[in-house]
Structure 1
Amino acid sequence: MADSESESDFEFEGFTDENVSDAAEKLQEKERELDDIINNDESDIDVDEDSDSDQDSDQEGSDDDDPYLANVTAEWSRNLNDNFIPDFSENTGPTHNLNVDANVVDYFGLFLPQSFFDSMAIETNRYAEQRQQVTGPDPRWRPTTADEMRAYVGMIVMMGVKQLPRIWCYWSTDKRYGDPFISGVMPKTRFLKLNQYIHLRDTSDMPGRDDPDYDPLYKVRPLLDLVSKKFRKVYKPARDLSVDEAMIGFKGRVHFRQYMPAKPTKWGVKVWEVCESDTGYCSNFDVYTGRKPGGRQHGLGYDVVWNITKPFHNKNHHLYYDRFFSSVLLAEHLDMVSTYVCGTIMQNRKGLPAEIASAKLKNNGELLQMQKGNMIATSYKDKRQLTFLSTSQQPFQGQGKPTCNLNYNSHMDGVDKSDQMRAYYPVGRAGKKWWRYLLWFVINLSIVNAHIVYTKSEKDPAPKKGYDHLAFRVDVAEQLIAGYTCRKHKAGKRVALANQVVAPETIGHHKLEKISGRKKICKECSVQKRRTPKGRHIETSFFCVFCDVPLCRNGCFAAYHHRNMMT
């Protein structure tokens, strides 16, 4: 410390050849480090081969005009200068080819096309056969079809809109529980069978954990790859993007389950998302599967932001993220690929100036800013002390909250908007298989994104006034079902009485037992059109356990079976 103080007393006489050589070596080291990052193939997510992230990040012009070189060679200073922030000029919004009169299910099909349901039907039938080879034939199972899979997904979506505590409630004959729309599609036994065997991929040759090709998400990998590419292709986001984490609630057994006590959903699978700040449209996502072998060169937060935003590099996007992800090195490297950031940052992060790292502001509204090239570090005292690091903001020299704080608050909630829309009408029922929760997550997120694309697209005729997310979701479910039913007769109705015959060999099995619950209308009295003195149907507390038909104990039981005896 004493040496540095004594050196400051000397008059500056210019740079020596050794100083210039050292600066050149540092610059070359930074360039090599960036090349290693750009050429790194170990990405957590798949990126299209034609992605702009593979483009050369070198810009035309002299080195003196390169803002990143200023970041490398400059030192932190309290002298603030205006930043050069290029304009965002990319085309934004929907990029699909749907007609203006397309149905809402066509928008949903932009993300989950017919091929997804074809594959689901094939894999479900395959898995049912594999299981029956182990456990024996299942007399209640019959092969499914793509149309039935679409109807099944439609039912799952509607169950999120009409939430009931038990699955059997949807098929209950009690009008307080029963739902004729859902129960009319298929019987409960068929729905449960589909639920038992539903599958997305053949797991008979799944690599083991010791295999170099092991993928923790093997069971859903084709679905995740399909949907993530569709998200990026169908809609081009605006300039401002937010990066944050989302949680898929799950308390079962899976090795990458996370516990986050400060979150509303404390247990579950963590998903990194990048969403458009204005609408909440999810443009890319990646499921977190735990630590990677060999560790991470720059830390988890750096890798998440760099990898998940690769498709948006070199387009002058502005990213917003919180202090978990933020670092000086990440801001420098993103600046090299024309991607600019604004986020909170921990005071003890490497690379921050000592004045910011040790700042202890006492008065509300007190502000400390320092600049290094295009980077601005801001420490501001509001209700508590906040620290920001940005390359997308100009230095603040006015009164009130700094612009980095205001813009962060305005644009950081993109992922929260998407989560909020998903949480209104959850898709899927609770279960033990973790991969199904990812399936429900993808279906739900696809509906949310489809609704955003729908609202941003030209339509003729225009939707009715007040046509919101709920109405869109219900229409998607109805059009997925598309009138499909595997019932031979309407739910709640029995086969015609003329077809209900009593075989002589089953006579010993017909006996009366008491009905549990309220009385029911006697079948024989109803056929004979007998009524009470007040004109009401005659009710009974007994039923035939073999026929499952309510009958009066005196006379009706014998008369019913005698009349329907097979001769």
Structure 2
Amino acid sequence: MLRRNPIDFFNLIWSDEAVQKISKNTDLITRSKIEQNQENLKPHSRLRKWSSPSKADIRRLMGIVISMGVIRLPSITDYWSSNNVLCIPFFREVISRDKFWNLHVADPLPDNVSYPSKSYKIQWLLDHVNMRSQELYEMGQNIAVDETMVKFKGRIGFRQYNPKKPTKWGMKLFTLADSNTSYMWQQNLYVGADGRETELSKCAQHVLDLVEPLSNLSHTVYADRYFWTLGLAQRLIDSGFNINGTVMPNRKGFPQRLKSAKHMKPGEIIAFRKDDILMLQWKDNRVVTMITNNCRSDEWCTIKPKNPNHDTRNKPKCIADYNKHMNGVDVNDQLCTYYL
């Protein structure tokens, strides 16, 4: 069997074409800066030493960025420090500090030209990663949709704040991942309202955008209460998907009984059906409301507790399936945080 190294898998996503584009963008942007500030450049400015980067330089940049996620220092300049305490020879040997600061991934566009979208400068990069991710992997039966926050405190027009997330400030992406392997299959960057006219909520539309390439392949889509509406559920079923997820009981079209379930007893279950869609409410420690089309209200699962001293518990099958398959995006986010 052929043995693969991590760099082989890295190169599957970051092909020579993508690296060459980054190299070209870097050269164009830097030379534009030099032309605009030619008269004001200081004698020892790093821009005076500029030379066009090679593909090898760009790959060194990527390696440095990943290494910075593993080796944490107070500031970026410390990685090239000559201080005996902070000095890490590896970084200076791989790439100079001045060249590191000049490398870019953005698409160059003059300041006097209006941008097609707020994400225009990096959109090509997102599209490339999504394209390669989809070409290299066939999604399993169960897929999960969720929000992802990428930590960022810089100045951009689409930075988001979400106090309920571990990463509160940053860029928000809607992510589609395989529930079993946590493989990220597609991510769409949220940059605000896009002006599209749709009968569905904006969050529901993001779900449709993510799963559209997988229509009529009988995948089961898992998502949380932030996304689900009856309209989204029906659109997905019509497109050949199965659905499962928690849902807010006050959504439009839900039975009034589900909206006033404060006095339910532990273990009590309430269920309604509209065509193929099952709306189910069950009380454990708190009331949980589910929406699904691939489970019945009388299907139960026996759950073994993690603590052997606790008794086994019975849960509706749709809730057990949701707990098992919804964490695909969360695991992917957890793995990424080790390097951010």
Asked if TM exceeds 0.5, the reply is: yes
- Aligned equivalent of 2:108, options 202, 207, 213: 202
Shift of 1:285: 1.0
Q: Which residue of 1 aligns with 2:303?
A: none
Shift of 1:121: 1.3
Q: Which residue of 2 aligns with 1:142?
A: 51
The yes-or-no answer on 1:229 pairing with 2:126 is no
- Aligned equivalent of 1:261, options 153, 157, 163: 163
Which string of whole-angstrom CA distances, capped at 9 and with x for unpartnered residues, describes residues 219-243 of structure 1?
0121111111111110112111110
- Aligned equivalent of 2:334, options 420, 426, 430: 420
5 Å-filtered alignment, 1:73-472, equals: 100-136=2-38, 138-191=47-100, 195-204=101-110, 207-208=113-114, 214-293=116-195, 296-398=198-300, 400-426=314-340
Query: CA–CA distance in 1 between the matches of 2:247 and 2:54?
Result: 52
Secondary structure (helix, strand or coil) at the match of 1:236 reads coil
Between structure 1 and structure 2, the one with the greater Rg is 1
Shift of 1:359: 2.9
User: Which one has more relative contact order, counting CA pairs under 8 Å at least 6 apart?
Assistant: 1
Return closer, same or farther for 1:231/1:291 CA change in 2, 3 Å cut-off. same
One-letter amino acid matched to 1:365: G
Which string of whole-angstrom CA distances, capped at 9 and with x for unpartnered residues, describes residues 533-555 of structure 1?
xxxxxxxxxxxxxxxxxxxxxxx
Q: Which is further off, 118-127 or 289-298?
A: 289-298
Return closer, same or farther for 1:361/1:207 CA change in 2, 3 Å cut-off. farther
Q: Which residue of 1 aligns with 2:305?
A: none
Shift of 1:118: 1.2
Shift of 1:327: 1.0
One-letter amino acid matched to 1:425: Y
Query: CA–CA distance in 2 between the matches of 1:123 and 1:190?
Result: 14
One-letter amino acid matched to 2:218: N
Return closer, same or farther for 1:151/1:216 CA change in 2, 3 Å cut-off. same
The CA RMSD measured in Å over matched residues stands at 2.0
Shift of 1:205: 7.7
Return closer, same or farther for 1:207/1:395 CA change in 2, 3 Å cut-off. farther
* Alpha carbons 1:361, 1:381 under 8 Å: kept: no
Query: CA–CA distance in 2 between the matches of 1:405 and 1:175?
Result: 56
One-letter amino acid matched to 1:228: N
* Alpha carbons 1:364, 1:381 under 8 Å: kept: yes
* Alpha carbons 1:119, 1:200 under 8 Å: kept: no
Query: CA–CA distance in 2 between the matches of 1:318 and 1:186?
Result: 46
Which string of whole-angstrom CA distances, capped at 9 and with x for unpartnered residues, describes residues 65-94 of structure 1?
xxxxxxxxxxxxxxxxxxxxxxxxxxxxxx
One-letter amino acid matched to 1:143: S
Q: Which is further off, 353-362 or 411-420?
A: 353-362
Secondary structure (helix, strand or coil) at the match of 2:60 reads helix
Which string of whole-angstrom CA distances, capped at 9 and with x for unpartnered residues, describes residues 87-135 of structure 1?
xxxxxxxxxxxx9234322211111101111111111111111111111
* Alpha carbons 2:143, 2:325 under 8 Å: kept: yes
Q: How many residues align?
A: 321
Q: Which residue of 2 aligns with 1:505?
A: none
Query: CA–CA distance in 2 between the matches of 1:130 and 1:107?
Result: 34
Shift of 1:173: 3.9
Shift of 1:196: 3.1
* Alpha carbons 2:216, 2:240 under 8 Å: kept: yes
Q: Which runs of 5+ in 1 are unaligned?
A: 1-98, 427-567
* Alpha carbons 2:105, 2:122 under 8 Å: kept: no
* Alpha carbons 1:348, 1:357 under 8 Å: kept: yes
Query: CA–CA distance in 2 between the matches of 1:293 and 1:222?
Result: 21
Secondary structure (helix, strand or coil) at the match of 1:108 reads helix
Query: CA–CA distance in 2 between the matches of 1:243 and 1:294?
Result: 21
Which string of whole-angstrom CA distances, capped at 9 and with x for unpartnered residues, describes residues 300-321 of structure 1?
1220111111111101101110
Shift of 1:201: 1.6
Secondary structure (helix, strand or coil) at the match of 1:235 reads coil
* Alpha carbons 1:305, 1:325 under 8 Å: kept: yes
* Alpha carbons 1:247, 1:269 under 8 Å: kept: yes
Using the aligned pairs only, state the percent identity: 30
Shift of 1:294: 5.6
Which string of whole-angstrom CA distances, capped at 9 and with x for unpartnered residues, describes residues 485-507 of structure 1?
xxxxxxxxxxxxxxxxxxxxxxx
* Alpha carbons 2:173, 2:187 under 8 Å: kept: yes
Shift of 1:216: 1.5
* Alpha carbons 2:57, 2:95 under 8 Å: kept: no
Secondary structure (helix, strand or coil) at the match of 1:202 reads coil
